[in-house]
Structure 1
């Protein structure tokens, strides 16, 4: 009996040690986040192991794990009709509210899920719940886009899928088929989906052939640049779950089909060093010492090496492409973008990407609502539904839908 008790205590201590991660005191429900992060780290570790053995790509392991628990078929309810279809060859899940008068024009949102351009799906339970709730509460048609993912697809394929699906839906005859008001359509997304939503909004806004454009863009903790991995939020939250700083660099290189060995030089900002003239215009567009409010900057200092690694930009030129990094868009492009909602979280490496984009849009004359959650962490908005419910997740969803309801 004593031996069993000792072994139990030892295993409990090891388990607690593995789960425990030092977290900021202001973060929402820290122990619940630790448990979530421990699960994510376990799957990541397994993926890295089988990848190192040459058995399977680590992203496929992550997607397999997510799919086992999260994927679900289209299930309609009394309030929302749900079905899977394709727009110009791109898979989408449609959510159509059943309420309202026959022939009454509805609002609509084109939604792009997150996941580092490599994970996730419109068929995930979390995104299904979110889009179902949006459809019901906004009485709006929601188009959730299942764009292709890395490692099978790389930039610009994810962007092309998002743009193709958006252009298809914005065709007047398609909007008429779904009884959608062409003056009340938004594009939205979270994380990597926020990146795609911003890039698509920019492209549609400058497309002279587009007869219908988006009224709004709603970006949830978007990832918008890969030239500076040492903004204050990257420095502050480098070790905060669930999006660690090195993981974001890996996602970028997977998306842009870059050499994985570039992770460490990029984390040191060697790809945007002062001697690399090709990176100079981009550096100025994300000059956080000018673009961020004092509360975000605090006492952090820019990391700008005098000499860098030119090979990274040469081999991964998309790092400077505004379609991949919308924060690098020219002011005249930003000025034609639709009214914006930007949600950021204090405990998120991407906080400053969103804040800088909000500032640049405002400087270009675009009305912007910037909602910041002091106890939020990356990904929290999809954790507003069982079994991964966080109070900050519910608040972000409610605030996001409220803004859409008031502005769309």
Structure 2
């Protein structure tokens, strides 16, 4: 009983210390963000403690908490919602009920969660996809891919491309009444990573008949070559997603070897043969002055980690390192980034690279934005910021799809 009381007391103290973490002056609903940050970081601390004493792995505990927020496929008067599979990949379909004389638009959505947790079943993602289907009168497909570390790269990419290719078949598009020329792909955070990688594959694959009209990437993570970007330095202890937790999750995406996250924290994880990729992620040339500020660019140190991972040089895992020839065939792109986010600069650099090769890009930067805002759109954990980002994203789709 005494040990349990001690644990509760330590968690309470941790919560109090987190809730009084100073927030940027322009953050909307400051106290609500402080509370959400305290809940998230206290939960993360508990997960780390349980992992360190051998009770449960970090990602297993977080997944257990997130699963409490899962929803069933509930249909309403406007949308029919069903859970099914494309090949063997779980998907949730949102089909508008009202009659349509012409085939409908469609949106494929990949959820975030650091590749280690999350699902289209989460209340916020179910709400977002339902909202998108209703506002656009569109067929929406939420995709669940296998999660790390049980399944590591390229399992997530393989699931994504399998589900997408299945949906893009003529017989499936006809079955769901979809216009093959008006299909978008989108995702947030790690789901944005996956959406970007799948889009690169589909648009450059001559065997895929139907291509995407648009892609939308919401605060995506697109590279890990350099872990000392200005966004990493400025947001090391950011709201919800810190630099250390980000490194932990992306490391599990590749390997369980603890040498990788240790090397990533020092920016010494890339192999010697990766130097030719640095130009694709060089923030000193790809970031506007506004984001470079007074930061000094230092090239990552090569060959120090002792970890041999070819995946660290694979554009299917890190879409920002794709060469220009692959990027030229991409569709018009929407990229949304948030100021207080360790992934901020990934999206900004991708926007620069796409514009440099002639791809039409709309980049919205949310000055008061935090990572994962779309996860906070449903009671009791909702932020006006999440609803604002939802409306920006859906409005762009509506105008362009």
Q: Under a length normalisation based on structure 2, what TM-score does the superposition of the two structures give?
A: 0.94
* Inter-CA distance 135–303: structure 2 relative to 1 (3 Å threshold): same
Q: Distance in 1 between matches of 2:375 and 2:391?
A: 12
Say whether 1:309 aligns with 2:301: no
How much is the aligned-residue C-alpha RMSD, in angstroms? 1.7
User: Which residue in the other structure is 1:296 paired with?
Assistant: 291
SS at match of 2:84: strand
Q: CA deviation at 1:261?
A: 3.3
Q: Give the match for residue 149 of structure 1.
A: 147
Question: Who is 1:110 aligned against?
Answer: 108
Deviations 1:69-111 (A, max 9, x none): x10110000011000000011000000111233x521000110
Q: CA deviation at 1:337?
A: 1.2
Partner of 1:321: 314
> 1:122-145 CA distances to partner (integer Å, 9 max, x unpaired)?
111110000000000000000000
Contact 2:114 2:190 (8 Å CA) reproduced = yes
How far residue 380 of structure 1 moved from its aligned partner, in angstroms, is 0.9
- Which deviates further from its counterpart, 262-271 or 302-311? 302-311
Distance change in 2, residues 1:310/1:343 (3 Å):
same
Please show how residues 356-395 of structure 1 align to structure 2 within 5 Å: 356-395=349-388
Instruction: List gaps (5 residues or longer) in structure 2.
Output: 1-10
Which residue number corresponds to residue 100 of structure 1? 99
Match of 1:132 among 130, 133, 136: 130
- Aligned match for 2:280, one of 280, 285, 290: 285
Indicate if the aligned counterparts of 1:114 and 1:194 stay in contact, CA closer than 8 A: yes
Other-structure match for 1:55: 55
Aligned residue pairs total: 391
Shift of 1:49: 1.9
Report if aligned partners of 1:114, 1:192 keep a CA contact under 8 Å in 2.
yes
Partner residue, 2:67: 67
Instruction: Name the structure 2 match of 1:90.
Output: 89
**Cα contact 1:335–1:364 (8 A) shared by 2:** yes
Query: Displacement, 1:25?
Result: 1.4
1:39 aligns with 2:23: no
Give distance in 1, aligned partners of 2:399 and 2:348. Answer: 22
Matched, 1:210 2:205: no
**Offset at residue 196 of structure 1 (A):** 0.1
CA deviation string 1:43-64 (max 9, x = no partner): 2222222222222221111011
SS at match of 2:294: coil
SS of the residue corresponding to residue 392 of structure 1 reads helix
Partner SS for 1:270: coil
Given that 1:268 and 1:303 are in contact with CA atoms closer than 8 Å, whether structure 2 keeps it comes out as no
Cα separation, 2, equivalents of 1:250 and 1:306: 19
Aligned to 1:25: 25
Look up the match of 2:342: 349
The corresponding residue for 2:4 is: none
Q: CA deviation at 1:15?
A: 5.4
SS at 2:269 equivalent: helix
3-state SS of 2:333 partner? strand
Shift of the 147–306 alpha-carbon distance from structure 1 to 2, 3 Å rule, reads closer
Q: Distance in 2 between matches of 1:167 and 1:357?
A: 24
CA–CA distance in 1 between the matches of 2:375 and 2:362? 20
Match of 1:407 in 2: 400
Kept in 1: contact 2:235–2:341 (CA 8 A): yes
CA distance in 2, matches of 1:212, 1:287: 33
Structure 1 residue 22, shift from structure 2 partner: 1.9
Instruction: Give the secondary structure class of the aligned counterpart of 2:66.
Output: helix
Structure 1 residue runs of 5 or longer lacking an equivalent are 1-10
User: Helix, strand or coil for the counterpart of 2:224?
Assistant: coil
1:151-183 per-residue CA deviation (whole Å, 9 max, x = no partner) reads 221100011111100110011110010000000
